Structure 1
């Protein structure tokens, strides 16, 4: 047979080269990707979180301030974040998140391969590839990079690695909770709890499904999809969330259609440091916490940080009482301001009175040097001449008004005059038996007026000081409210009690004849009778008494004129001092914080009451009895209703309405020289409340006593506040009689005072020192 001469065909070497090249490139690429991931994991492209950091991711937690009735008063924060637990997240919120952001969340281990491939093929046109775990990793451990493709790829690699590590470290529920607690919803709403409170005024657990959908819609881009700025755009995005929920079987098509028709229904309540309730109190509390932190370090020796450590501060403030107090101040001062402005129309030196041009210039210059403008320009190296000149250049600004913040154009100098013309007020309310401060209103508007008139400010207290003189005389001389003294003119000679010259007080009404019981003398606030009393006791025992009542007496001279309230005292001191009378002579140091806890609920501080006996029960009871006379026949009688109806200033709406209280009330009004300060201190058995009204400068005041007295300036706020408390069924305030000691040897019922004393000689001349 003939052998075949046909040769085998050799393979095409050029095709073989391509095949080998393809697989070589493929494996090199695969190795490169693996190598990149390894390098990223080792931290070659930037720090990666350690095991410990994954276990405890660093998070800035806001310190939360709670009222005694469990409401949030405010927060201290660098980021306004208060964490919630998974159990506090409503099911529809979690379902909306998963349906919209990561449909296969429960099926992958941190990276969604199908989503990644889809994003790569369609260049992100059909949705992104980031899982919830990846988004959380970005929030926790990576930062935004510049618009650089290579840097963004490396960042994405880091997100993938961290996401898989998070999935190994945490459960799916924990990842969802961390994500909701970390996301910034803008407007200082960091985390789902803050967002729920700020945008809808409720806790996260109380969100409705349509509200949850709005917050999930914001996760795409909270600045762009913001319901406050772009409600229509957010509504469209929210409705898309409903589409995703229906697609994934969380709601029916009928439910989706119904939900898409609903409006957004926001309840937007910003939580900035200038907004919210008890703003002045929160600033004082901040100082309290700074002092506490210095004395109470962490177990490791470092200091707590109220802006990052997530402390919980449980205060004595009652949110309902605080709300009523703030409303009472605003209601009355807004009315009183109208009358004040009306009386200033023809005042050539408005808003100032009784001062010359040089004094006005001094006041204005002092205000200029305290201003933010002055400090900023000084820091910029501007000369004093240039700074002063800038105060006379008109500039656009937003200013306070009782109708709301308004835009205007004026010079900074004119703005000083504008703000000086506003009346201010302070109110503090305290439980005398426990010392708990229940309401604290330091001014009319914290955003525009930062000065606190409860603790920071000290002003002359006027006739509200007189009960301290009477209490000293009652405690040491055992006087009765029925004892009488002459009203006539009286002089304490120079040198008798340390006074440098003769002192002859005048009575406000100009009357100097007849005898008065101590009860009537206090009710009518007769100066000459009070002078006679301090002449008998001496000023030093009075000062010793108020010092025991919590007053700083360092700058109060031991001279007889203090009897008429020449001393400067804070509203805080006055309320705590008066509370001793209502608490049967026992002083209780005011308390503002009941408990402090760390973020885990460990108690770091528990308040322990501080008390001391100051007066006998009998002396305290008799002093209260004296002050009850003020509300029956003295300057406080308008609280009973009949007096207020006939007043011209009542018709103008200044007092609000007749209060018509029937229950026992003890109190005292106070008015200082030139009507600069108006006071009212009012007590019922379980609540003592003090009110001060005036202006920032003492030279800004009413021209006459008609409106410039404490009974018109301050007492109405007390009346409005107490009326609101009594009308609030959730707040319990006593209407009972003041407690009477079992043994009272001093007569308080003047009708039964058989041998009624009717002359000065029946009272001892002075104490035996």
Structure 2
């Protein structure tokens, strides 16, 4: 009998119930997981306000008066840029490479996520641009431990969705490019464009933009400074993606792929680039400013992360010309110094004993970072000193480029003492705006600022202040006459402790002469006679009004320049003469803005009336005499075959009015030139770090040889740039001038006899020099 068939249908309901049970558990668990993550129970999440103002380290920009960014202060070299300033091909390259459906999703690309899950990430991650931004802004790379990584990915999704709700697609792209790290001090697309190509993002070419986008995958791996071929391959992948997404034609892609990687690498480091000494001065300025100025909420400003914009008075063009002038002249002058130093067993020191050299060198060793570090480590002094005599590999400065060598730290210190250092500052007399600032030859190796910090003996550049005091207090004029002859200030007068008899540099006397000719020839006896009449205290009072706060002894020797003053203070004091007697404190900042463009600081101009217009103009006419027939007249000559023509760079042949004064101190330790045209005053100092290191001869070591050529080269460059509008006209003459200023001044050096120096048969121009007859 046939078995009866079982016609009952299978009961799947238990399985269905289990499915829905597990589905609901999974769905509910996932929902709770994301809820807990969004509530911050699985770790902190950004608040609404944080999403609106994501924290970001922004570099503070230093901006020149002509709108050029000349430097930055930063922890991360990031300067934000708006979407409108991004080139379209850069955006296209980014979207094509990193997130093809960026404009279609709402923060998470479901298709890419499922694909990545199926392939277990073998084809790369599924992070959208928005997710990558979330990672950059709020939690970084995080842990590699799987459970933590899952939690982090969930938070990343949540933040990405919130970002999409808070910002437009264009804003997300701009935020991402502003935050991305391109290494080599370049954080953000604007810094990257400047560091790698020395241009703004809007000026990037397609292949340059593709290279930067290619770096985003792994900046260290695709570092264009180290792996050029890998970077080129990665760039070409980006270009291929652009073709795939119809942003480029095949022909365009192939043309760009054929191009080599061509960088213009300009790292934005604090010790490199332009205006390095000024930037360091500004850093110290801002430290004091931050102590005195607070944010509205009472918190402190931070120049390294607040994204301030500091608008300075520096003109980037003048700054460049000043740095070029310094390099052009000092490279040649340094060669002469090394030639002269040959055969000198104590080089670079001159006329000092070995015991004195030992003191100089020990003092220098104690000022080094090596000495400080070893002292902090508890090393005793003998062990520290021994370390200075152990040879080590190092890179040293030369005018022909950095040089790798092996020498002892002691020898390196002595080597660097050979180098002549400059200090140059240029300022507008009518505004107080500092336009150029060069404090040394290379901030990487020589970090002492010889403009704002380096007070040095000023020599005969001090004499105009003595003349100004005499004109103001004694009613004298440039055309009044005085006798150049033997002169003694007796013991007890003007605090003189013993009789003082100043002498002229050539030990000659010329008899009756005008004040104008006396200053042109820088006659020491005349300066001494004038200060004897006015008294040292009257001159010191004038200097205080002119903003000089250096210590000035109340002694008549100051008439010959036995005073230490900074280049900055000297330029400001001289500018008073060109500004009709009104002193303006040098200004380096015009305003400071916060990251949102709000002006948070504008300095007040500090000024004071010091001299009458007539007296100031009379001094200007005296100083014009120096460049017409005195120690500065080489500004107007062809050079005439003088021994140091190659060094000084003749001819200059200026024909416009120039008010100036040279200065040379004892043993040629300091060379100065102060030069002015109506709308620009510039001071230049040149000398070695140690005063015992100097030229042996006056012909090479005088201010007219060391400093004046830098001023001349700088001015020639400024005049060649018509956009600067540097004046070639006359100084403004006061109406109803009561002081006689137009008087005949006989030629100074052409009438002299036997003016050769150190056996040189060529007639030279022995400029004034403060000899050792200070005698106080």
Indicate the TM-score class for this superposition, using the shorter chain for normalisation: over 0.9
Tell me what 1:564 maps to. Answer: 560
Q: Which moved more, 1:49-58 or 1:422-431?
A: 49-58
Query: What is the alpha-carbon distance in structure 2 between the residues aligned to residue 394 and residue 43 of structure 1?
Result: 59
Quote how far apart the aligned CAs of 1:645 are: 3.4
**Deviations 1:669-690, CA, capped at 9 Å, x for gaps:** 0000011000000011110000
Q: How high is the TM-score relative to the length of structure 2?
A: 0.93
1:235 alignment partner, one of 221, 225, 232: 232
**Deviations 1:609-668, CA, capped at 9 Å, x for gaps:** 2221111111111111111111111111110023x2321111xx2112310100000100
Query: What is the alpha-carbon distance in structure 2 between the residues aligned to residue 356 and residue 502 of structure 1?
Result: 29
Contact 1:645 1:658 (8 Å CA) reproduced: no
Query: What is the alpha-carbon distance in structure 2 between the residues aligned to residue 752 and residue 153 of structure 1?
Result: 90
Which SS does the other structure have where 1:497 is aligned? helix
Tell me what 1:98 maps to. Answer: 95
**Are 1:700 and 2:715 counterparts?**
no
Quote how far apart the aligned CAs of 1:528 are: 0.7
**Are 1:649 and 2:644 counterparts?**
yes
Tell me what 2:403 maps to. Answer: 406
**Deviations 1:393-442, CA, capped at 9 Å, x for gaps:** 11111111111112111111111111111110010000001110000001
Which SS does the other structure have where 2:553 is aligned? coil
Tell me what 1:307 maps to. Answer: 304
Tell me what 2:325 maps to. Answer: 328
Query: What is the alpha-carbon distance in structure 2 between the residues aligned to residue 6 and residue 31 of structure 1?
Result: 47
Query: What is the alpha-carbon distance in structure 1 between the residues aligned to residue 640 and residue 301 of structure 2?
Result: 55
Contact 2:514 2:745 (8 Å CA) reproduced: no
Aligned residues: 746
2:291 alignment partner, one of 294, 297, 317: 294
Contact 1:245 1:251 (8 Å CA) reproduced: yes
Tell me what 2:281 maps to. Answer: 284
Tell me what 2:750 maps to. Answer: none
Written as runs of structure 1 = structure 2, the 5 A alignment for 1:675-714 is 675-714=668-707
Q: Which moved more, 1:696-705 or 1:495-504?
A: 495-504
Query: What is the alpha-carbon distance in structure 1 between the residues aligned to residue 5 and residue 242 of structure 2?
Result: 69
Written as runs of structure 1 = structure 2, the 5 A alignment for 1:629-668 is 629-642=625-638, 644-650=639-645, 653-668=646-661
Tell me what 1:429 maps to. Answer: 426
Query: What is the alpha-carbon distance in structure 2 between the residues aligned to residue 314 and residue 277 of structure 1?
Result: 16
Which SS does the other structure have where 2:495 is aligned? coil
Contact 2:184 2:267 (8 Å CA) reproduced: yes
Distance 1:502 1:148, change over 3 A: same
Quote how far apart the aligned CAs of 1:48 are: 1.4
1:396 alignment partner, one of 389, 393, 396: 393
Distance 1:162 1:611, change over 3 A: same
Q: Which moved more, 1:628-637 or 1:375-384?
A: 375-384
After superposition, the CA RMSD in angstroms is 1.9
Written as runs of structure 1 = structure 2, the 5 A alignment for 1:7-46 is 8=6, 25-46=22-43
Tell me what 1:66 maps to. Answer: 63
**Are 1:274 and 2:271 counterparts?**
yes
Which SS does the other structure have where 2:193 is aligned? helix
Query: What is the alpha-carbon distance in structure 1 between the residues aligned to residue 624 and residue 6 of structure 2?
Result: 127
Which SS does the other structure have where 1:630 is aligned? helix
**Deviations 1:311-346, CA, capped at 9 Å, x for gaps:** 111111000000000110111111111110111111
Written as runs of structure 1 = structure 2, the 5 A alignment for 1:523-562 is 523-553=520-550, 555-562=551-558
**Are 1:6 and 2:1 counterparts?**
no
Tell me what 1:763 maps to. Answer: none
Runs of 4+ in 1 over 6 A off after TM superposition: 15-20
Contact 2:516 2:745 (8 Å CA) reproduced: no
Tell me what 2:580 maps to. Answer: 584
Query: What is the alpha-carbon distance in structure 2 between the residues aligned to residue 360 and residue 151 of structure 1?
Result: 65
Which SS does the other structure have where 1:542 is aligned? helix
Query: What is the alpha-carbon distance in structure 2 between the residues aligned to residue 687 and residue 495 of structure 1?
Result: 42
Q: How high is the TM-score relative to the length of structure 1?
A: 0.94
Which SS does the other structure have where 1:645 is aligned? coil
Q: Which moved more, 1:486-495 or 1:573-582?
A: 486-495
1:457 alignment partner, one of 445, 449, 454: 454
Which SS does the other structure have where 2:552 is aligned? coil
Query: What is the alpha-carbon distance in structure 2 between the residues aligned to residue 505 and residue 437 of structure 1?
Result: 37
Which SS does the other structure have where 1:74 is aligned? strand
**Are 1:734 and 2:737 counterparts?**
no
